[in-house]
Chain A
Amino acid sequence: MLPWRRLHGLLRPVLGAPSCAELNRRPCRTSGWFSTRSLSSGKPLRRDIFKGNKKAAEALPGSSWTPFEINPGLPPEMSDIVIVGGGVVGWSIAYWLKKKESRRGGVRVVVVERDPTYSRASTVLSAGGIRQQFSLPENIHLSLASADFMRNINEHLGVLNEDPVDLQFNHSGYLFLASEGVAHIMEENYKTQSDAGAKVRLLSASQLKHKFPWINTDGVVLASYGLENEGWLDPWMLLNAFRRKALSMGVIQCHGEVTDFKYSIQVLRNADGEEVTLKSVKSVKVQMPNSLEYQPVECAIVVNAAGAFSGKLTEMLEVGVGYGMNEIPLPVEPRKRFVFVVHCPDGPGLDSPFLIDYSGVYFRREGLGGNYICGASPEESKEPDVGDLEVDHQFFEENVWPSLASRVPAFEKLKVCSSWAGFYDYNTFDQNGIIGLHPNIRNMYLATGFSGHGLQHSPAVGRAVAELILNGKYQTLDLSAFSFRRIMKQEPVMERNIV
């Protein structure tokens, strides 16, 4: 019976139409016909053959199988947007790009970060403060928007089935102290800040003494104290929250170093007859760590969020050298800053704000065990070498401790427990962020040069850059004051700080 049936089964499709006899038999056999078919011994054999075919097909070009051991960390060959620099600004831009894309998977975003441990990254080596006490309205609005983002962080960066984000935010305001020479600047800044909507209060020396009895008010004429949206947070938490959310939204992460660009040059003439070069990046060469392997990533847009090393990145495009002599290089360079952790049991405790003295020294509380973080900016002529991240302990003895102890007498007795150094992405032109397109590079967006406030402005800057890329213009906050144009025109936008 069985062989016959098998033959019949084979013949059936060949014959096409069922025979007369079969048609007559059909009403009573329909159900049995199909159920017995599965017993056919030919099927497993056929399946094996197909399996073999499949294996053969997989080995052919156009399939994903390969005998090579492929580095899974390699970036894709093609991407819409490549973000160079996986710091907090880079990941924030990646998040906002995915958030603003018109449909799911609308843009392919790759974030390239050379150091997955973030051992030299400015983000995690910062003191982590956020403040509204700036003099430029743009900076104040950036801080306000970022504080609003952090307040609702779980609405923005919460991932389904994961723990809620805890930024470890410490709500202790900034306290700026001003001497007689700079008090008028503080008053002007206070006016700008209040107009922008920041909650700041001015204190006279006696009010200051009453509010913070542990401060030595000698030489202090005026102080400004932030009441809301100021404090400090754990930078690592913010970075990871951005990264986790962006990855969950489909951003591709790649650990490698951008070593070269492939670009085309167009030479144009302006109205005065001068030659103007216009470059456009075709692909980004991503070198894998500890290997010779690399991958060129073709892309439409590059975002330069490499922080302290963003100046170096544009140098790879030969901006300002060789053929592009008349181009303006990116004025961002690394500057080393030291952070010292001191233990002082008699210190101000939970009462301590983020204090910034007019001498340039700052300190804040770290944890609850009587530890404090302090530091200062060195003079322009005494900038430390940026080749490594070594800490100069002499700097603490000479520049930080004397001012600190004279301001807060309790710090006469302290012990340095630990210290580290980190890089500022220092904008040598005017110490403010550079956001937007580079005039000589057609498709490179800059988001760098924040000179110490990149972390606190990262949520709002990411949104602004995403708007610039996807909408072509700013929609929520107008940051055109921070465009590269000001460097071309040689009109610095300076922050009028009292420090």
Chain B
Amino acid sequence: MAANMSACLLALHRCCQYPALALVARRQWSSSPAPPPLHRRLLLFLTQQYSDIEMLISWSSRRTRKQLHKKNVYYGYTESFYGRDVASAYFVLRMKGTFRYVGQSEWYGADQRNKLGLFEDWEFLNYKERQLEEVDLSDTEINYTGLSNIEVQRSLKTLKVSHCPEVDDWFLEKLHIFEDTLEELDISHCPRITIGGLAALRNLKGLKRLNVSSLAKISNPGLVIILLEEMLPQCDITATGYKLDLDPVMDNEEEEEEEEMEKEKNLFQRWR
């Protein structure tokens, strides 16, 4: 029965082809005017409405980007009033980081915050000519643009930017501005750093300590660490949180760190 029917349909189909030869072949993006029926136009209208949701999402992501940019913007206004060093210090404090002045032992910004996370001690405004020696910007949203705020610190010895989601290869490349002074760099747990950025650390020939633990995007950490040690021979490189194939026995602590890394990776992906 079915075969009979299909044969019948085939014959019909073949029949249809002859008159159709005279017709204009129409195709996907044909531009000749043929207004679609009303309900199809309505549907089209609705789909266009739904793409507004897409627009909304892209709008919100643009807004987040704008906020990030705002946080990392160059503090030219502060600089014009108080000078470059105060602007750098103010930037670090606004990013919720901490710093230490040259020749001082205590860190500034660590416990001068109130419950809202705002700092209350505005003493740093008086130190116009005092340079920063150590800067800790861990767990902040500093990015490539924000680095221009501390660019002027010519005696910076330590920079810590671990757990920073916005620190990427371009950030590492720009670190050559501290090449004469920088001795310690902590870029652990930064999910966007790849081997391409680590190669740029070759400009920091004065580096003594480097922490590259748990970089999620590095695929073969064993080789990378060896190459880094070759590139920076006088530097002490710390690299934990990697599952190196050379030692099959893994400590619990390492496992935990591994999990943490995995979590971070997921978080990063979701955050993207």
Contacts and interface: CB of A to CB of B under 8 A. Distances in A.
B169 A76 contact: no
Interface stretch (B89-97, B100-108, B193-201): B193-201
A168 B198 CA distance: 12
Contacts of A63: 26, 34
A64 B174 CA distance: 56
A388 interface: no
Contacts of A70: 25, 27-28
A169 B196 contact: yes
B227 A171 contact: no
B227 A349 contact: yes
B199 A77 contact: no
B20 A171 contact: no
A151 B144 contact: yes
Nearest to B29: A76
Measured as residues with beta carbon below 8 angstroms from the partner, the interface class of chain A is: 35 or more
Contacts of A403: none
A72 B169 CA distance: 42
Contacts of A65: 26
Of B203, B228, B272, chain A has the most CB atoms within 10 Å of the CB of B203
Contacts of B24: 61
A350 B227 contact: yes
A74 B26 CA distance: 11
A349 B20 contact: no
B220 interface: yes
B199 A252 contact: no
Given A160-B58, A172-B202, A349-B227, A64 B196 contact: no
A62 to B, nearest CB: 5
A66 B26 contact: yes
Nearest to A110: B29
Interface in A354-392: 368
Contacts of B173: 171, 227-229
B244 interface: no
A166 B20 CA distance: 50
Interface in A163-193: 164, 166, 168-172
A68 interface: yes
A162 B126 CA distance: 49
Nearest to B205: A211
B34 A171 contact: no
Given A59-B20, A228-B173, A349 B196 contact: no
A155 interface: yes
Given A59-B16, A63-B26, A70-B25, A228 B231 contact: no
Contact of B220 (A172, A228, A229, A368): A368
A72 B23 CA distance: 18
B169 A171 contact: yes
B176 A252 contact: no
Of B29, B34, B65, chain A has the most CB atoms within 10 Å of the CB of B29
A350 B34 contact: no
A45 to B, nearest CB: 21
B40 to A, nearest CB: 11
B170 A151 contact: yes
A351 B196 contact: no
B176 A67 contact: no
A351 B230 contact: yes
Interface string A40-59: 00000000000000000001
Of A67, A70, A231, chain B has the most CB atoms within 10 Å of the CB of A67
Contacts of B198: 350
B31 A78 contact: yes
9 contacts: A65-B26, A66-B27, A72-B28, A76-B29, A77-B31, A160-B58, A168-B194, A349-B231, A351-B202
A-B residue pairs, 5 tightest by C-beta: A76-B29, A171-B200, A78-B31, A170-B196, A171-B173
Interface of A: 59-68, 70, 72, 74-78, 151, 155, 160, 164, 166, 168-172, 199, 211, 227-229, 231, 252, 349-351, 368
Given A68-B25, A169-B169, 4 more contacts: A70-B27, A75-B29, A77-B29, A229-B173
